[in-house]
Amino acid sequence: MFLKSPSFAMLSDPGLVRGHNEDSCAASVGHGVFVVCDGVGGAASGEVASRIAAEALLSHMLSSQSAGIATDHALRYAVEQANRMVFSQARQSAAQRGMATTLVALVLESAADGGLNEQYLWLANVGDSRCYRLRQGRFEQLTHDHSIVEEQVRLGEITRAQAEVSPIRNVITRAIGSEADVEADLERFSVKPGDLYLLCSDGLTRDLADREIAEFLQSGPLATQEQLAQTCQLLVHAANARGGGDNITCLLVHIA
């Protein structure tokens, strides 16, 4: 468990183009668990996939914490269970066949290292929903997209600038529920007081560049729930002002 509950806020918006919202987000601040999912599959299927995945991950993390299971094992298992549930549901309904979802989850923990209570977080991600960190003015992406353009950048085939305007920039290579099994990226980071974390769907990052998102987060104090909620609203409004071409979800977590 984390030593002190963080402040957080989350907001999900359909944007200005899509008729419904296929994003989902969920949190248990007392357990330090936060998750954002971006569904795909058309009609209402994406919405179903993202809701199942977010609820499954949260439920399995809470039960695993109660059982005293190590955070990394619990998080990997929770992602696997979310994948199985979405995949199983998709096979039971012709209307939902092919549905899937991205997932990015943040789980806080405290651990005794050398007699000191050190604080950490675990990140899990599948797809192109992201986690960013603002620490002492430095803004950086902590997750790695599972997308075609990200692979092209890694191989040196295109530049980062070209990736940001590529017509296939939203084509992902991994998703929750698309296959019977899924491999999530899982990574542990140290946590420092004052850290600010942003989980978001690609509806935010397709319309706002990283430097623009950073400017919103650097513009003033973001420690209280009210300040975080206001910033979520500002980010969503800015993305919509650029066209709102996709569903937009942002979840902010501040470490006291």
Smallest CA-to-CA distance from 129 within 37, 214, 62, 192 is with 37
pTM: 0.94
pLDDT for the residue numbered 105? 98
Coil, helix or strand at residue 78: helix
State whether the Cα torsion 92-95-101-107 is positive or negative: negative
Does the domain spanning 7-254 belong to CATH 3.30.70.120?
A: no
* Domain ranges for the chain: 7-254
pLDDT for the residue numbered 151? 86
pLDDT for the residue numbered 116? 61
Cα distances from 4 to residues 31, 65, 115, 117, in angstroms, run 10, 16, 18, 12
Cβ atoms 3, 110 nearer than 8 A: yes
Note down pLDDT in tens along the chain; length 256 residues: 556 789 999 999 999 998 899 999 999 999 999 999 999 876 569 999 999 999 999 999 999 999 999 999 999 999 999 999 999 999 998 889 889 999 999 999 977 555 567 899 999 999 999 999 999 999 999 999 999 988 888 888 888 888 878 888 778 999 999 999 999 999 999 999 999 999 999 999 999 999 999 999 998 889 999 999 999 999 999 999 999 999 999 999 999 9
pLDDT for the residue numbered 135? 97
